[in-house]
Structure 1
Amino acid sequence: MTRLVFICGHAGTGKTSLAKRLIGPLGRATGEAFCLLDKDTLYGRYSSAAMGALTHDPNDRDSPLYLKHLRDPEYQGLIDTARENLELGVSVIVVGPLSREIRDRRLFDRAWLNIGPKVALSVVWVQTAEDTAHRRIIGRGNPNDAYKLAHWDEYRQRRFVPSGTQLEGLIVFDSTAPDESDYDALLQRIVQAATTP
């Protein structure tokens, strides 16, 4: 069995740190090989070159131009790469905001993902308070956050907390101050994910 695990959430919630913490224990708990696909690692250099050429700001990841022309192809490429690994028998942890896809329930749509019923699917939404995320973003000093920080009021309008039907099947993880039992509970929920009957 292969597994596809999405680790999603807004900037500053600790998605990448969580994925790196989980990948070893997941491999040991399931006996399966996992690869980590982080959107920023896969597309960061490409996006810098493209946005530098288009807007002279290689660190822009949040302007209307980026969101209109680069966001969706990057995410689709991320999912295509995950699918190729799954087809080779390698389980995958995918890291990226994917907030629009959470809102629209696309990450639960196997036809949209183009994955078969034998892939165990888990979707984790990592969240923390806005002020905590803001503080973390400032603290990490990543140049790619410059546009976001300069336009925070605009960016914060895109932040949302899943509710209603968006929560169905979604694993919500609060990254504000988790302890070992929180990490263990998350790991167990992912390990227990079933394939489609």
Structure 2
Amino acid sequence: MKHLLFFCGHAGTGKTTLARRLFAPLSRAAGEPFCLLDKDTLYGPYSAAAIGALTGDPHDRDSPRFIEHFRDPEYRSLMNTAAENLSLGTSVIVVAPLTREVRSGRLFERAWLGIGDDVAIRVVWVHTAEAVARERILARADPNDAYKLAHWDEYRQRLFVPDDTLARTLVMVDNTAPSDQADADLLARLIETG
């Protein structure tokens, strides 16, 4: 059984750090190879060049203009890359916010994902308190966060917390205080076959 694991959530929740920390243990526990597809690694430099040519600001990653022109093509390409790896027999870990897709349930639509029934899907929603996320964003000092920080009140209005019904379809992870036990518990949930 191949696995497609999504690590989703808002900026500063630690989804990339968590996915990287679990990468080797997941491969060992599942007994199969994985690849890690991080949206920012795959498309960050290209999108920076494109949005920079359009607006003059290569770090514009949260403005309405970026969202209108670049968000969906980045995610479509990310899903296509995941599907291609899965078709070649490699399980995939995807790291990206994917908030719209989580909210709509798209990440469970096999036709939209381009995958078959031989792939187990798990969607991990990584979350933490807003103040903790903002601290982490400030600490990492990534220029791509400049718009978000300069327009924090506007940005925070886009944040959402999955309601109880949606949360039951997700693997919810409070990443405020990571621990070895929390990682072990999450690992077990991600590779179960049910």
Bin of the TM-score, shorter chain as denominator length: over 0.9
Note the C-alpha offset of 1:50: 0.8
What corresponds to 1:50 in structure 2? 50
TM-score by length of 1: 0.96
Shifted more, 109-118 versus 14-23: the winner is: 109-118
Shifted more, 110-119 versus 52-61: the winner is: 110-119
SS in structure 2 opposite 1:145? helix
What corresponds to 1:180 in structure 2? 180
Q: Which amino acid aligns with 2:171?
A: I
SS in structure 2 opposite 1:123? strand
TM-score by length of 2: 0.98
Note the C-alpha offset of 1:193: 3.8
Structure-2 separation of matches of 1:153 and 1:104: 24
Root-mean-square deviation over aligned CA pairs: 0.8
Structure-2 separation of matches of 1:164 and 1:187: 22
Note the C-alpha offset of 1:169: 2.1
Q: Which runs of 5+ in 1 are unaligned?
A: none
Note the C-alpha offset of 1:56: 0.5
Q: Which amino acid aligns with 1:103?
A: R
Q: Which runs of 5+ in 2 are unaligned?
A: none
1:143 corresponds to 2:136 = no
Give yes or no for contact 1:12–1:134 (8 Å, CA) kept in 2.
yes
SS in structure 1 opposite 2:61? coil
SS in structure 2 opposite 1:10? coil
Note the C-alpha offset of 1:168: 2.9
Give yes or no for contact 1:63–1:147 (8 Å, CA) kept in 2.
yes
What corresponds to 2:163 in structure 1? 163
Q: Which amino acid aligns with 1:11?
A: A
What corresponds to 1:25 in structure 2? 25
Structure-2 separation of matches of 1:110 and 1:92: 14
> Which deviations, in whole Å up to 9, do the C-alpha atoms of 1:80-99 show, x marking residues without a partner?
00000000000000000000
Matches within 5 A, 1:60-71: 60-71=60-71
> Which deviations, in whole Å up to 9, do the C-alpha atoms of 1:113-158 show, x marking residues without a partner?
1211110111000000000000000000000000110011111011
Q: How many residue pairs end up in the alignment?
A: 194
Percent identity, aligned pairs only, is 63
